Structure 1
Amino acid sequence: MAAGDAEKGKAKSATCAACHGAKGISMIPMYPNLAGQKEQYLVLQLKAFRDGQRKNMQMGPMASSLSDDDIDNLAAYYAGLNPAG
């Protein structure tokens, strides 16, 4: 069972869509697809970007303002998407 609220995650995902695609499938090869990723993996990665444990010029600033609830909700949303589009 998802820890986050996928509907809230969907509402929060507009910024993510610029690089990772509206449905979590990136049209830009250098950005990973998020659709269908394991929820806990997404949580860990977003927290690592937010907390500075993982460095990335684009993701650091994007994740810096996310709360734990935001991260849980985004992870639930993307984990629930079909990776085939």
Structure 2
Amino acid sequence: MNRSIAFVLGLVMSLVGSAASAQAVGDPIAGQEKAQTCIACHGAKGAADNPEFPILAGQHADYLLHTLRAYQSGDRVNAIMNGQAANLSEEDMRDLAAFYSQLEPALHTPDRSRR
């Protein structure tokens, strides 16, 4: 009986932890509103036609959040993104990460003939 209780308790704790982790990322609806500046480079659906700009659609929220924090701190250097991330709040970064992570992943092969 004790093993059954321990198993159920462990399962419940795991589910609670997963739900808390998912909620900790941010609000995708707020992120969509905050993403208006991002559209210029990353496109309305998170996948620009220009191969110089990374595809954000469908990336893991944790990865996007980590990347925004790295741009903000200067641990990751890009002339455009360091400036864009400089004034983002933690909530802004979480919301943007939530928004882009929930977009349909964009399988995209850029046209390199323009080069």
TM-score by length of 1: 0.95
Matched, 1:58 2:80: yes
Q: Which runs of 5+ in 2 are unaligned?
A: 1-21, 108-115
- The equivalent position to 2:62 in structure 1, one of 36, 40, 57, is 40
Q: Which runs of 5+ in 1 are unaligned?
A: none
Moved beyond 3 Å, runs of 4+: none
Greater relative contact order (Cα < 8 A, sep 6+)? 1
Counterpart of 2:50, as a letter, is I
Q: Percent identity?
A: 45
Matched, 1:78 2:85: no
CA drift at 1:27: 1.2
Q: Distance in 2 between matches of 1:33 and 1:14?
A: 16
Q: Which has the higher helix share?
A: 2
SS of corresponding position for 2:52: coil
Q: What is the Cα-based RMSD across aligned positions, in Å?
A: 1.2
Q: How big is each residue's C-alpha offset from its partner over 1:14-62, in whole Å with a ceiling of 9 and x where there is no partner?
A: 1001000001011111101100000000000000001111111010000
CA drift at 1:75: 0.1
- Determine which structure has more spread, i.e. the larger CA radius of gyration: 2
TM-score by length of 2: 0.71
For these two proteins, the number of residue pairs brought into alignment is 85
- The equivalent position to 1:68 in structure 2, one of 90, 93, 96, is 90
